[in-house]
Chain A
Amino acid sequence: MVSPLTPVLTKRWTEPRSWTIETYERTDGYTALRKALTAHPDQLIQQCKDSGLRGRGGAGFPTGMKWGFIPQGDGKPHYLVINADEGEPGTCKDIPLMMADPHSLIEGVIITSYAIRANFAAIYVRGEVLHCIRRLNAAVKEAYAKGYLGKDILGSGFDLDVVIHAGAGAYICGEETALLDSLEGKRGQPRLKPPFPATAGLYAAPTVVNNVETIASVPFIVNGGADWFREMGRERSPGPKIFSLSGHVTNPGQYEAPMGTTLRELLDMAGGMKDGIPIKFWTPGGSSTPLFTAEHLDVPLDFEGCAEAGSMLGTTALQIFNETVSVPWAVMKWTEFYKHESCGKCTPCREGTYWLVQILQRMVRGEGTAGDIDTLLDVCDNILGRSFCALGDGAVSPITSGIKYFKDEFLALCDQNSKALAGASA
């Protein structure tokens, strides 16, 4: 029986000066790298496949398969890019990881680069998290000094340079192709796919883009093996996962538990709802994942469980709202976010979010009509699946799921309005 909490990635965080290479090495740091360098790169890719590790950035794509897409012997440089542009509302797992244990990411970067035959890796960190960038930079410097980075790493003949790249404030850069454009010094707007990054990514060369939590898991898989990793979680969603509880809970924070853990279990560990006020709605994995309600407390939080229940695992960013929070208001706030962060490239997302915000603001002001709800849903329908990238899909999630579960609240706002109008005309 696996424990309710399984600290793997978060285990070192409680160590004093956990971010230093001394602490890291003292706690088995860089042993996985030494081991990995004895293996053939293809063995590492196979091991990753065997482990069933799926991307922790939201989409859950099998990591080993992604590595396997990189064409080998193509004569082109290969690149590894770490997506550390954590910005999905509610998501707050990668930043603490990089602050507390930057070397686990760097060790994962080195192993992954070795596996995919990359000699340059970039860690793209959102710009607003300076302390994290500071720690990463220092860690990279330490790793170079110890011979874990640079030329002929640990005498293996393998070379790797790592650069820490600060973003500049754009949610869309969490989309992997927008991130690549941004890393190339351009506007962070998504690229056409195909070609996919695996064939034409950074500088049009084969590139793997992986999330921080994903790559930080790699050294543990190398040391523990695929079977060990699979002891946690569920068959198709194995491994431990950092669940970030925020909002109206007694003890918000980072909880690393096996995939498939439920919110009821997590809430239990977190001391329940704050002040005993009942839960009203929550996001399983950030604001782009359709809302859940109290009905969904027992949904297994893994890729399949969430999908079956009509949402997505996303980034396991559990934003928890109690009964005091107005759903139309929350939906309006999120929509303001998507409007602000829409990159502008495609019509549905750019114009649609511009429109949706105004309808929602009007409704929240008490000037909506029941017809507005139909318009909202139809505009959402014209954005969902019509946009260039997933941002548009994410933008409509709060609205459609909010109306799905809480239509009465929207209607109540409209009732107020019609009463006010009736009063005015009387």
Chain B
Amino acid sequence: MTQTFDQTFDKDIAEKAQAIIARYPQSRSALLPMLHLVQSVQGYVSQDGIRFCAAQLDLSEAEVSAVATFYTMYKRRPCGEHLVSVCTNTLCAALGGDAIYATLKDHLKVGHEETAGEPGEPGSITLEHAECLAACDLGPVLQVNYEFYDNQTPEKALELVKALQEGEKPAPTRGAPLTDFKQAELQLAGFFEGRDADLDGPSAAEETLRGATIAAERGWTAPSTPDNAEFPPLPEKK
């Protein structure tokens, strides 16, 4: 089934694009979120998606292509239902990240940014190795649709991916209940309507709270603040 350009990027998407533009003092700032929006529609940035952004922002398609190809989160080919990103930067790799990636690669029989299964179909998975995901204290980490699965091992990761392939959606360690890649991209474009419950997804791992917890246990605190700290006098104009 092929859709026309206008069916793919319909009125709702065009309205969302305009809503993104309205957030900024200058329209071009909307390009990055708009490319996320495009991915929420098609699961990747297609040529039509580039055309759509160019038209919305009055840019040339070359200008949009220049941006779309610069950032790793914009995918060139349709993504699976889920995007699995394994951190293989040095620290996670040393703790097992490389082994996790190798295990998933073997299991899914795909390489970097390749998809096991028919892209977009239930259970299809795009695998990638990722750079540092800013969760080093919880390494090795991986993400599914940019939700965190912390303290992974090859076995845990394999179990997770198998579950995803079977249509299950295991909860992330930190993050909201799992949806799919396209819905995650819609949120990255700044559209969270109807998903308030996502906010209660866990965020504070033991590691996150480690220092604060130890301090509380041991009665360590920052110096107490004065009751009425005053502002310095207004500096004289130079």
Contacts and interface: CB of A to CB of B under 8 A. Distances in A.
Interface of B: 23-26, 28-33, 35-36, 57, 66-67, 70-74, 85, 88-91, 93-95, 130-139, 143, 145-148, 174-176, 184, 187-190, 192, 195-196, 198-201, 203-204, 206-216, 218, 220-223, 225-226, 229-235
B211 A255 contact: yes
Contacts of B70: 170, 187-188, 343
A184 B231 contact: no
B134 A168 contact: no
Interface of A: 2-8, 10-11, 13-14, 17-19, 39-40, 42-47, 50, 77, 86-92, 94-96, 99-100, 120, 126-131, 133-135, 137-138, 163-171, 182-188, 203, 220, 222-228, 231-232, 240, 242-248, 251-257, 269-270, 287, 317, 319, 321, 325, 330, 333-334, 337, 340-341, 343
A188 B172 CA distance: 30
Contacts of B72: 168-170
Contacts of B138: 92, 252
27 contacts: A3-B215, A4-B220, A6-B222, A43-B231, A46-B231, A90-B132, A96-B203, A128-B73, A130-B147, A130-B184, A134-B187, A167-B32, A170-B71, A171-B131, A220-B225, A223-B229, A242-B211, A243-B211, A244-B136, A245-B137, A252-B138, A253-B207, A253-B210, A254-B207, A254-B212, A333-B88, A337-B131
A45 B187 CA distance: 36
Contacts of B35: 168
B208 A13 contact: yes
B206 A7 contact: no
Given A131-B175, A167-B73, 20 more contacts: A2-B223, A5-B215, A10-B209, A10-B212, A13-B212, A14-B212, A43-B235, A96-B204, A131-B198, A166-B188, A168-B71, A185-B30, A187-B66, A228-B225, A246-B91, A252-B210, A254-B137, A254-B209, A330-B90, A333-B88
Contacts of A77: 25
A341 B143 CA distance: 19
Contacts of A133: 187-188
Contacts of A188: 70-71
B118 to A, nearest CB: 25
Contacts of B139: 246-247, 252
A255 B211 CA distance: 4
Given A91-B132, A131-B176, A169 B222 contact: no
A86 B106 CA distance: 31
Contacts, number: 291
A42 B146 contact: no
B131 A19 contact: no
A89 B95 CA distance: 14
A134 B32 contact: no
A226 B90 CA distance: 39
Contacts of B212: 7, 10-11, 13-14, 254, 256
A7 B211 contact: yes
Contacts of A166: 32-33, 36, 188-190
Contacts of B233: 43, 46
A37 B148 CA distance: 38
Contacts of B71: 127, 167-170, 188
Nearest to B95: A247
Nearest to B200: A17
Contacts of A251: 207, 210
Given A134-B199, A135-B199, A334-B90, A168 B136 contact: no
Contacts of A333: 88-90, 93
B141 to A, nearest CB: 10
B23 A7 contact: no
Contacts of A11: 212, 222
The 3 closest A-B pairs by CB, nearest first: A253-B210, A225-B229, A185-B31
A188 B35 CA distance: 15
Given A10-B212, A224-B229, A247 B136 contact: yes
Contacts of B67: 185-187
Contact of B220 (A5, A95, A163, A168): A5
A242 B192 CA distance: 30
A131 B93 contact: no
Contacts of A19: 199, 203
Given A14-B216, A167-B32, A253-B211, A87 B132 contact: yes
A220 B215 CA distance: 18
Given A43-B233, A185-B57, A127 B223 contact: no
Contacts of A334: 89-90
B94 A182 contact: no
B134 A91 contact: yes
A130 B223 contact: no
B91 A247 contact: yes
Query: Which of B28, B29, B32, B33 has the most A CB atoms < 10 Å from its CB?
Result: B32
A224 B192 contact: no
A7 B215 contact: yes
Given A127-B36, A240-B222, A163 B175 contact: no
